[in-house]
Amino acid sequence: MFKRLLYLAKRQTEKFLSLILTFLVLILLVSSVRGLLRLRQSNLSIKDAGESVGNLEKESERLKKDLEAVKSEAYVEKQIREKLGLAKEGEVVIVLPDEDTLRKLAPDYTEEEETLPDPNWRRWLKLFDF
């Protein structure tokens, strides 16, 4: 009977240990899956950040080129001519009206269709009023 009790106690402890072991394995499995998901999300975030950095670098280069163009004397001269209507000595500035006014002032050209002369038989019919 003592052997029987010992056997039952041993069996219950084995069940208890296997249950605890299963529980620990499940906890480790869930933890590993969460870690992998976080790692994947971090990789995606890094990839997105890298693309953003690349785009910002391209935009920065474009803006630097624009800044160099704006700093040039040719750009300043162009802006003075276009925005302020100023000219160099000896030049004449002609200011045209806007497009709508130009269209109203322009003559209307109506294109006439080129027609072939009437054939002889039709001219004879017209001559004799048929």
Assign 117 to helix, strand or coil: coil
Q: What is the reported pTM?
A: 0.45
Task: Please say if the pLDDT value at position 91 is more than 80.
Answer: yes
Would you say residue 112 lies in a domain?
no
Query: Between these two residues, 114 and 46, which has the higher pLDDT value?
Result: 46
Would you say residue 93 lies in a domain?
no
Task: Please say if the pLDDT value at position 5 is more than 80.
Answer: no
Assign 3-class secondary structure to the chain: CHHHHHHHHHHHHHHHHHHHHHHHHHHHHHHHHHHHHHHHHHHHHHHHHHHHHHHHHHHHHHHHHHHHHHHCHHHHHHHHHHHHCCCCCCCCCCCCCCHHHHHHHCCCCCCCCCCCCCCHHHHHHHHCCC
At 51 the pLDDT is 95
Could you report the per-residue pLDDT of 13-70, keeping only the tens digit for each? 999 999 999 999 999 999 999 999 999 999 999 999 999 999 999 999 999 999 999 9
Q: In which band, very low, low, confident or very high, does the pLDDT at 130 lie, cut at 50, 70 and 90?
A: low
Would you say residue 71 lies in a domain?
yes
Would you say residue 26 lies in a domain?
yes
- Domain of 59? 10-88
Q: How many domains does the chain have?
A: 1
Query: Between these two residues, 93 and 18, which has the higher pLDDT value?
Result: 18
